[in-house]
Amino acid sequence: MKKYPAKKDDISIVLCGAAGQGVQTVEQLLTHAFKHSGYNLFSTKEYMSRVRGGSNSTQLRVSSQKVRACLDRIDILFLLNREALKHVEHRITRETIILGEREKLLEPGGGDDIEIIDIPLSGIASEIGGAIYANIVVTGVIAALFAIDKENIIDDLKERFSEGDKTVMTHNIRAVKRGYEIGSELITSGAVSVYIRKDPDVADQVIINGGEAVGMGAIAGGCNFISSYPMTPSTSVLTFLAHQSKEFGIIAEQAEDEIAAMNMAIGAWYAGARGMVTTSGGGFALMTEGLSLAGAVESPMVIHLAQRPSPATGLPTRTEQGDLDLALYAGHGEFPRVIFAPGTLEEAFELTAGAFNLADKYQVPVFILTDQYLIDSYYNIPRIDVSTFEIEQYVVPTGKEYKRYALTESGVSPRGIPGNGKGLVVVDSDEHDEVGHLTEDHDIRVRMVDKRLRKQTLLTQEAISPTFSGKKTKGTTMIVCWGSLFTIAGEAIRRIGRSDISIVHFSQVYPLHPDTAKILGRADRLVIVENNATSQFSRILKIHAGIDIETRITKYSGLAFSVEELEGRLREVL
């Protein structure tokens, strides 16, 4: 058996197989096992839109240091079927350790040039109880290679299957142990050597994905109502809050469609709740009439929009930053809004939590713009203390002469809710007067439009400044990015290693911070990186900050940039 060079410090594991072969289960088991064992971990997946078949892959990046971005490089590759080999073969090098069932992976009479460590998964799984246990055998093999205590895996299995068939539990435990034996043999024989220093800080950290980070932020922001229609990749936020609903007093409603979901959330805010919707591009398209209603009645609203490639159904399980224009221009008419685009899981939590206060304070829609890559990625972060976030309340008691849309200098009227005082809270989708009664008076119309738009000045004053890293002096090149590209671009630039390159990341993409032009004006050269075809954010910078970025690096295949890919693209333009 061929002996491979030892894998050290930062190891990329890729699992690839068909939908239905349990790749996601392996990911879930191992992400927590690596974290409990003291390893820094990053995990992300790319998968096809099908219940069975196709080729899905998950990357587990295990490191002695903090890691938060995906790689092309594969150090250890576990294949579950022949199609999987074809799916990732462009990423395989001579240094890649390939494990799997040789007979099932190679074409009869060919492919002998590919070195595969043969593991007879089918036979082992059949002996245990059936083909469905092959993925658990894989889990045991990988756990052994990294010296993870197999009892941690077994305890996790017991928790996951505690209410199921005891026979299934027994077979799963046998599968882990058998896989662990195989992995231990590979280490003992010297065929595979893995050396990664553990990080003592990891023990007190948590490992979550983007959907959980957004959900936790919603709880911290006081969310007590969510209505949505399931749509990949946004559904994880709905399911997370549904699971937490009893503990935190949240009403989680799976609506009959996105139109109903948006209108329910508007009704929830009207009644005094803090509501949100979670959706993706095609679903949000149906919500735009409701968004305009929120703009007209000045209802607070929090919208989590998890982007995926469009138009139409597009690539429903892939990633893209293609809905920025949609969020910015959605809804008929003119009314203010805020758009956040978190670049890390910490920002996903903080910005979502803050969105509820901001929406409540200014009575406007606030977007949390994520994408499939961010939502489905896991990594370890310091524990988040939800209790430290302050929920700000802006609802006022109403008097008999209460006017829901009283004209104010700021444009923000006191917001009352039914039953909280003696006043009548009138809301109407037609243009209305200060009380809320519909009107066709042209002068009142102008005053109401001006009143609503005056909020934009205040929202701009509260805009979050972009994150800057690197030298602020002239003579530098600034790499501009937004949303989930932050960690990928950061690592790519560190690899380039030039002191004259800095990075500016926008976690708020509208309205822009007032100093945006000043910040970007320090650079001799600007390069923007986006996961869309037309560089949507560069247009916002040109229109609203007067900054025209000519050098644009874009990707719109449905996949996120890898660190190596972006590094190469940056080197080309630099």
Q: pLDDT tens digits, residue range 182-195? A: 999 999 999 999 99
Q: Domain 7-198 belongs to what topology?
A: Pyruvate-ferredoxin Oxidoreductase; domain 3 (3.40.920)
DSSP 510-561: ESPPTTHHHHHTT-SEEEEEESSSS-HHHHHHHHHH-----EEEE--SSSPP
Given a contact cutoff of 8 angstroms between Cβ atoms, the answer to whether 352 and 217 are in contact is yes
Which is more confident, 156 or 164?
Answer: 156
Predicted TM-score (pTM) of the model is 0.96
Instruction: Kindly report, residue by residue over 517-545, the tens digit of the pLDDT.
Output: 999 999 999 999 999 999 999 999 999 99
Buried residues in 40-60 as b, exposed as e (16+ CB within 10 A): bbbbbbbbbeeeeebbbbbbb
Q: Which of 72-76, 78-82, 419-423, 468-472 has the lowest mean pLDDT?
A: 468-472
Structurally, at CATH architecture level, domain 467-573 sits in 3-Layer(aba) Sandwich (3.40)
What pLDDT band is residue 111 in, cutting at 50, 70 and 90? low
For residue 217, give the H/E element and its range.
helix 210-220
CA quadruple 456, 457, 462, 467: dihedral positive or negative? positive
The whole-number pLDDT of residue 367 equals 98
Q: Are strands 53-63 and 10-19 parallel, antiparallel or unpaired?
A: antiparallel
* Average pLDDT score, the chain: 94
| pLDDT at residue 305, as a whole number | 98
| CATH fold for the domain made of 207-388 | Rossmann fold (3.40.50)
Burial of 346 by CB count in 10 Å (0-12 exposed, 13-18 middle, 19+ buried)? middle
E strands, 144-201, are: 194-195
DSSP one-letter code for 421: B
Evaluate if residue 203 carries a pLDDT over 90.
no
Residues above pLDDT 90, as percent of the chain:
88
- Of 290, 311, 310, residue with least CA distance to 299: 290
Is the bond preceding residue 233 a cis peptide, omega within 30 degrees?
A: yes
Query: Which of the four pLDDT bands, split at 50, 70 and 90, describes residue 109?
Result: low
Cβ burial of 90 (10 Å; 0-12, 13-18, 19+) is exposed
Q: Do the beta carbons of residue 481 and residue 489 sit within 8 Å? A: yes
pLDDT tens digits for range 160-173: 877 777 888 999 99
Break the chain into its structural domains and give their ranges.
7-198, 207-388, 467-573
The label of the residue with tokens 């879930």 reads 28
What's the pLDDT at 193?
93
What is the per-residue pLDDT for 3? Answer: 72
Identify whether the C-beta of residue 71 lies closer than 8 Å to the C-beta of residue 377: no
> What is the C-alpha to C-alpha distance for residues 146 and 97, in angstroms, rounded to an integer?
14
**412 vs 300: CA distance, rounded Å:** 12
Indicate whether 472 pLDDT > 70: no
* Residue tagged 């069975």 (tokens): 52
- Per-residue pLDDT of 318-351, as tens digits, reads 999 999 999 999 999 999 999 999 999 999 999 9
Pair type for strands 205-209 and 194-195 = unpaired
Distance CA 270, CA 288 (A): 18
Give the DSSP letter of residue 192.
Answer: -
How many CA within 13 A on the CB side of residue 278? Answer: 31
d(CA 49, CA 21): 15
Question: Given the DSSP bridges, would you call strands 365-371 and 194-195 parallel, antiparallel or unpaired?
Answer: unpaired
The stretch 436-440 carries a mean pLDDT of 97
Q: Is the pLDDT of residue 508 over 80?
A: yes
Averaged pLDDT, 95-101: 95
Instruction: Give the model's pLDDT for residue 475.
Output: 65
Average pLDDT (102-107) is 86
What percentage of the chain carries pLDDT values higher than 70? 98
d(CA 468, CA 25): 38
Window from 102-111, 242-251, 487-496 with minimum mean pLDDT: 102-111
| Nearest to 364, CA basis, from 511, 247, 482, 479 | 511
Of residues 275, 284, 268, the one with CA closest to residue 234: 284
Domains 7-198 and 207-388 belong to one CATH topology: no
Q: Could you tell me how many helices (H) and strands (E) the chain has, helices first?
A: 20, 22
